[in-house]
Amino acid sequence: MTQSPARICILGGGFGGLYTALRLSQLPWSGGEKPEIMLVDQRDRFLFLPLLYELVSGELQTWEIAPPFPELLDNTGIRFIQAKVSGIDIESRTVFLEEQPPLPYDRLVLALGGETPMAMAPGVEEHAIAFRSVEDAYRLQERLRFLEDSDQDRIRIAIAGAGYSGVELACKLAERLGDRGRIRLVELSDQILRTSPEFNRETAQKALERLGVWIDLETQITNVAADSLSLEFRGAVDTIPVDLVLWTVGTKVAEVLNDLPLKKNKRGQLIVTPTLQVEDHPEIFALGDSAECRDAEGQQVPGTAQAAFQEADYTGWNVWASLSDRPLLPFRYQHLGEMISLGTDNATLSGLGVKLEGPLAYVARRLAYLYRMPTFEHQVKVGLNWISKPLRDFLSATR
């Protein structure tokens, strides 16, 4: 009697999920053991999140940073299912989807990513805009166009959080709006980019000052209204007028993980071993924002895109190894540095003994991200578009 192929179900099509699926499709499965690889995501396209800011500035187009899953997975053998996960039964090894048949699995990969918590202050859910998806970027674009077309002299924007997202957004918006913009960064701690290397933090500080961005440190947002914002600084609350509030603070795990009877930390992330397997359930793997991981050296793995890239490589290998009777590899995280966009043609880069700022760092950042895009075919399409863009712009200007 012929044995059915193993079924690998990967939930989440972000860096962790998509790159795990692609890694699995490239490994040397023998003819009789090649599994069915299923990738599930509620959206129809992948998002290269570190380049989402370039949609706001108009530097990039949607197809470049958010290609459809069917296009990326063509000829890979990976089955894409667009659906929302409604539940997981770990005893029967079954994933339940909304308006789709259930999916039984032999191996489960949880890479559902994170969500921006929007209930951190009164009025945030009703009046603020998050910045984590293409839909968020479209919503921001629509609001910006409305404000730019209005007859008001100043466009007042407040950004909650002076981490990577807040700083990059502030620079892009300040450049886009020019003298008309009034951009304010609101940060609860005593400095911007608190976890960044000093070189990147200082370079970003200079860029923000040059662009005229106001920075409110040690300040908490206590209320968001349709046209105002309440800020608390050292016990005193001040309410100021605002046209738009962007919320970049915090990350919460996907809700479907909350009901799983698995070991979690205080943030709701699954506790995984260095092989990226959930404790007491070796058939379940978790990575990215869904997991808390200490690698083979005992270091805490950060919740960053570069960590998810690396985890996906190991997760793919270990899922393959677990189905092929091969030894699993403990994850070893390598910090490769940090890159931050600081506007059009400006960035800062620090890592592996290299420190760059300005246009050279901007080009290096673009090339690094081009190399990290999910498939060779997409890399070629985007790369050719980037190379030919200056020529197209020149020809357009001379007409």
Confidence (pTM): 0.92
Q: Give the residue from 208, 225, 247 where a domain finishes.
A: 247
How far apart (Å, rounded) are the C-alpha atoms in residues 258 and 264? 9
DSSP-assigned states of every residue in 169-231: HHHHHHHHHGGGEEEEEE-SSSSSSTTS-HHHHHHHHHHHHHTT-EEE-SEEEEEE-SSEEEE
- State pLDDT tens for residues 30-80: 766 789 999 999 999 999 999 999 999 999 999 999 999 999 999 999 999
* Residue in 5, 30, 10, 28 with CA at minimum distance from that of residue 20: 10
Q: Is the pLDDT of residue 337 over 50?
A: yes
- Count of the separate structural domains present in the chain: 3
Q: Name the band, by pLDDT with cuts 50, 70 and 90, for residue 351.
A: confident
Q: Is residue 93's pLDDT more than 60? A: yes
The CATH number given to whatever domain includes residue 212 is: 3.50.50.60
Residue 299 shares a structural domain with residue 348: no
* Whether pLDDT at 154 is above 70: yes
Tell whether the model's pLDDT for residue 397 goes beyond 90.
Answer: no
What per-residue confidence (pLDDT) applies to 1? 40
Q: What is the arithmetic mean of pLDDT over 159-184?
A: 96
Sheet (strand 236-241) strand order = 219-224, 228-233, 236-241
Give residue-wise pLDDT tens across range 238-256.
999 999 999 999 889 999 9
Do 135 and 243 have their domain in common?
A: yes
% of the chain at pLDDT higher than 70: 97
Q: What is the mean pLDDT of the chain?
A: 93
pLDDT at 31: 67
Q: Name the residue range of residue 111's domain.
A: 7-42+83-115+252-323
pLDDT in tens, 177-211: 999 999 999 999 999 999 899 999 999 999 999 99
Residues 160 and 256 in one domain: no
Q: Would residue 65 count as lying in a domain?
A: no
Q: Is the pLDDT of residue 398 over 90?
A: no
Could you report the per-residue pLDDT of 284-307, keeping only the tens digit for each?
A: 999 999 999 999 999 999 988 999
- Whether residue 396 is predicted with pLDDT greater than 90 in this model: the reply is no
Does residue 89 share a domain with residue 27?
Answer: yes
Dihedral sign, CA of 40, 41, 44, 46? Answer: negative
**Residue in the block written with tokens 């370039």:** 54
Res. 281: pLDDT tops 50: yes
Count Cα neighbours of 193 within 13 Å in the Cβ-side half-sphere: 23
Q: Are residues 169 and 198 in the same domain?
A: yes
How large is the average pLDDT for residues 85-106?
96
